[in-house]
């Protein structure tokens, strides 16, 4: 597990400068809409609320939330890659005029946050990158207040057999080729492999339930290639 953590962090440190460009290019810009739809769950939080963006990367989930006129809370961006957080900070300086932002370099499975501190948490395209996703879910549960909300945005395999074949070809052949021209090919070979492994090993609804979450809902987006999970920590 330690090797996976180090390898993943090293990989994201290396691709950080090209990360946003490639994500938007390779998703045909659909990732903007996915994030916007996901964060609408949190738009009613008040100004005293704390929201954690775990595996925040360059901050796109947090910035989608802040740009939503209904959000008035405070944000904590946590990632294991220093280069990703540096870019997130620079983007905030350019794009966000007023907000309470905090940046923390930390291991998602050992969060430097007290019990029952957060009002909400989110993780986008990051749960499968954890060395131990189950431990990560338990940590998120620990730091949420009773009644706290949690969303997961993640890639998944399409249900349609025909679209699955097309998607797999794009994901395993086209995406690594384009990614390799502009950035590190290994990173975009890792991406499809990590999605397939995660889908084969983990039933996220089951793992959320085991971690203690309730009111679990899911919504497929992007022709079934992305899934949005919503859950809550029970009030008692």
CB burial string 179-190: b at 16+ within 10 A, e below: beeebbeebbbb
Place of tokens 């203690």: 212
Residue 21: phi, psi to the nearest 5? -60, -45
Place of tokens 């290019």: 25
pLDDT category, 27, cuts 50, 70, 90?
confident
pLDDT category, 164, cuts 50, 70, 90?
confident
Give the pLDDT of residue 61. 95
Report the CATH number that the domain containing residue 51 is assigned in CATH. Answer: 3.40.50.150
Residue 18: phi, psi to the nearest 5? -105, 0
Provide the token pair at 234: 């029970």
Task: Tell me if 14 sits within 8 A of 187, measured CB to CB.
Answer: yes
Give the pLDDT of residue 52. 98
Predicted TM-score of the model (pTM): 0.92
Average pLDDT over residues 214-230: 93
Worst-scoring range by mean pLDDT, 37-41, 69-73, 88-92, 231-235? 69-73
What is the rounded CA–CA span in Å between residue 235 and residue 215? Answer: 11
Q: Which of 88, 236, 76 is nearest to 140 (CA)?
A: 76
What is the rounded CA–CA span in Å between residue 68 and residue 207? Answer: 30
Give the pLDDT of residue 1. 59
Coil, strand or helix: which one is 110? coil
How many domains are contained in the chain?
A: 1
Give the pLDDT of residue 136. 96
Task: For the chain, give the mean pLDDT.
Answer: 89
Angle made by CA atoms 58, 62, 63, in degrees to the nearest 5: 80
The 10s digit of each residue's pLDDT in 102-157 is 999 999 999 999 999 999 999 999 999 999 999 999 999 999 999 999 999 999 88
pLDDT category, 2, cuts 50, 70, 90?
low
Task: List, in sequence order, every residue forming a beta bridge with 152; answer none if it has no partner.
Answer: 123, 229
Host domain of residue 139: 2-232
The 10s digit of each residue's pLDDT in 183-197 is 666 677 777 788 888
């Amino acid at each position: 597990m330690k090797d996976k953590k180090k390898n993943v962090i090293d990989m994201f440190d290396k691709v950080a400068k090209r990360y946003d460009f490639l994500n938007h290019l390779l998703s045909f810009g659909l990732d903007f809409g996915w994030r916007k739809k996901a964060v609408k769950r949190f738009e009613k939080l008040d100004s005293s609320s704390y929201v954690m963006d775990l595996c925040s990367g360059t901050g796109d989930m947090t910035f989608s939330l802040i740009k939503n006129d209904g959000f008035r809370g405070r944000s904590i961006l946590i990632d294991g890659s220093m280069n990703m957080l540096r870019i997130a900070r620079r983007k905030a300086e350019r794009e966000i005029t007023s907000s309470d932002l905090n940046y923390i370099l930390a291991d998602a499975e050992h969060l430097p946050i007290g019990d029952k501190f957060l009002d909400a948490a989110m993780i986008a395209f990051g749960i499968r990158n954890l060395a131990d996703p189950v431990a990560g879910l338990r940590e998120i549960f620990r730091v949420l207040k009773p009644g706290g909300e949690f969303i997961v945005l993640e890639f998944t395999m399409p249900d349609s057999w025909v679209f699955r074949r097309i998607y797999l070809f794009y994901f395993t052949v086209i995406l690594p080729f384009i990614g390799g021209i502009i950035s590190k090919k290994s990173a975009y070979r890792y991406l499809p492999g990590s999605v397939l492994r995660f889908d084969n090993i983990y039933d996220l609804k089951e793992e959320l339930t085991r971690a203690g979450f309730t009111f679990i809902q899911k919504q497929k987006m992007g022709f079934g290639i992305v899934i949005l999970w919503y859950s809550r920590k029970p009030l008692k």
